[in-house]
């Protein structure tokens, strides 16, 4: 839930304030984003390290065509970098590379739904003390997970396997004149 609430707040604030603030002052630099990626790769470890990567809440992982400041900002809002430091779950929005969000992961259960699909569920305890449930598949990260009996519902984000292309798109946006 924390990721969804954070994204919604960012979208609302970003959309309302975007015209009131100079775009250039809000945009991270490619050097900041590259440093973030390098540090995440170096510190990624633990049993879930294979699920680290860039995730897209827009579920396309597509490069933005003909970006301008507004569309580029909204596009960057939906791109998240996720990694693990042992049992710590860390994610950050590419638009705000200094705002790391951390939580402590603990295995909850192997969940199998009525159709026989299974997924490992994890409790994540945020620094605020609030707990949410997460799950990971090779190409998806589930958040805002709800489990009732054999029913499973969640929001999800898609893992982007085209990182080089995506980063070229990021560079194009953050270097807009």
Report the pLDDT averaged over residues 89-118: 93
Percentage, residues of the chain above pLDDT 70: 86
Taking residues 87-99, what's their average pLDDT?
A: 94
Give yes or no for a contact between 143 and 3, defined as CB atoms under 8 angstroms apart.
Answer: yes
From CA 48, how far away is CA 138, in angstroms rounded?
10
Predicted TM-score (pTM) of this structure: 0.83
Collect contacts of 27-31 with beta carbons under 8 A, ≥24 apart.
Answer: 27/69, 27/72, 27/73, 27/95, 27/173, 27/174, 27/176, 28/94, 28/95, 28/96, 28/97, 28/174, 29/174, 30/170, 30/171, 30/174, 30/175
State the pLDDT at residue 4.
Answer: 59
pLDDT at 117: 86
Q: Tell me what pLDDT residue 19 has.
A: 43
**pLDDT at site 18:** 45
CA distance 150 to 55: 27
pLDDT at 1: 54
- Average pLDDT over the chain, rounded to whole? 88
Cα dist from 172 to 19, 71, 76, whole Å: 20, 12, 11
Cα 74 from Cα 129, distance rounded (Å): 30
- Do residues 92 and 80 touch, judged by C-beta distance below 8 A? yes
pLDDT at site 113: 84
- pLDDT tens for 137-157 read 999 999 999 999 888 899 999
Provide the pLDDT confidence category of residue 25 given band limits of 50, 70 and 90: low
**Structure tokens that stand for 177 in this block:** 């004149």
Residue pair 107/12 in contact (Cβ under 8 Å)? The answer is no
**Extended beta strands in the chain, E state:** 53-56, 79-85, 88-93, 101-112, 118-126, 131-137, 140-148, 151-159
pLDDT tens digits, one per residue of 26-80? 789 999 999 999 999 999 999 999 999 999 999 999 999 999 999 999 999 999 9
For the residues 92-104, what does the mean pLDDT come to?
94
Six token digits for residue 127: 């620094």
Q: State the Cα–Cα distance between residues 49 and 62, nearest whole angstrom.
A: 24
Average the pLDDT over each of 14-18, 27-31, 99-103, 138-142 and give the range with the smallest value. 14-18
Regarding predicted confidence, which is higher, 3 or 115?
Answer: 115
**For 152-171, how does the pLDDT look when each residue is reduced to its tens digit (9 = 90+)?**
899 999 999 999 999 999 99
């Amino acid at each position: 839930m924390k990721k969804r609430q954070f994204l919604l707040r960012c979208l609302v604030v970003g959309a309302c304030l975007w015209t009131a603030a100079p775009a250039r002052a809000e945009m991270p630099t490619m050097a900041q984003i590259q440093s973030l990626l390098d540090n995440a790769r170096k510190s990624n470890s633990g049993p879930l390290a294979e699920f680290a990567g860039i995730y897209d809440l827009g579920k396309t992982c597509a490069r933005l065509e003909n970006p301008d400041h507004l569309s580029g900002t909204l596009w960057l809002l939906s791109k998240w970098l996720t990694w693990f430091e042992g049992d710590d779950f860390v994610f950050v929005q590419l638009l705000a590379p200094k705002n790391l969000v951390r939580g402590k992961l603990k295995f909850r259960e192997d969940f199998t739904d009525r159709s026989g699909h299974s997924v490992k569920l994890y409790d994540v305890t945020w620094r605020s003390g609030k707990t949410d449930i997460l799950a990971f598949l090779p190409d998806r990260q589930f958040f805002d997970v709800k489990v009732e009996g054999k029913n499973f519902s969640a929001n999800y984000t898609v893992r982007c396997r085209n990182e080089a292309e995506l980063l070229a798109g990021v560079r194009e946006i953050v270097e807009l004149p």
